[in-house]
């Protein structure tokens, strides 16, 4: 069974640009969430989607947005990039409900560098 796939794996942008990151969850997983990982702030929750609806949102500015498609694939977008947005962006999928409720399966992340 294929794991969570994130693209692109690495990207470099300049301040003011925008970026779109993509995530394909494990087949059958309907819940997708996004996390930002930085050395200073650790792992921070961005948002969670289930059946194309945002179910939870973290404390990030409105420049961070996301969406989920009918096939459960998800994208997140960051507009007007700032230097502080440089981070590893992790996507995680999960089964909503069932005996393994709560287990997140993470992808390997998209490493964004903002110059």
Partner 1 sequence: QQQVKQSPQSLIVQKGGISIINCAYENTAFDYFPWYQQFPGKGPALLIAIRPDVSEKKEGRFTISFNKSAKQFSLHIMDSQPGDSATYFCAASWGGGATNKLIFGTGTLLAVQP
Positions touching partner 1 (CB under 8 A) are 4, 31-33, 42-45, 48, 55-56, 58, 90, 92, 94, 96-97, 101-109
* CB distance 64 to 46 below 8 Å: yes
**Residues present in the chain in total:** 115
Q: How far is the CB of 106 from partner 1 (least distance, A)?
A: 3
**C-alpha Rg value of the chain to the nearest Å:** 14
Q: Which is nearer to partner 1, 28 or 102 (CB)?
A: 102
Q: Which is nearer to partner 1, 78 or 94 (CB)?
A: 94
Distance CA 63, CA 13 (A): 15
What the block records as the tokens of 25 is 């969850």
Nearest to 105 by CA among 115, 92, 96: 92
Nearest to 2 by CA among 25, 23, 21: 25
């Amino acid at each position: 069974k294929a794991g969570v796939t994130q693209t692109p794996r690495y990207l470099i942008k300049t301040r003011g640009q925008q970026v779109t990151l993509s995530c394909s969850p494990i087949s059958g997983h309907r819940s997708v969430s996004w996390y930002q990982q930085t050395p200073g702030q650790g792992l921070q929750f961005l948002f969670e989607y289930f059946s194309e609806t945002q179910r939870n949102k973290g404390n990030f500015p409105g420049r961070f947005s996301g969406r989920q498609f009918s096939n459960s694939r998800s994208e997140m977008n960051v507009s007007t990039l700032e230097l502080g947005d440089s981070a590893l962006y992790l996507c995680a999928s999960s089964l909503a409900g069932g005996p393994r409720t709560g287990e997140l399966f993470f992808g390997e992340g998209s490493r964004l560098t903002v110059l």
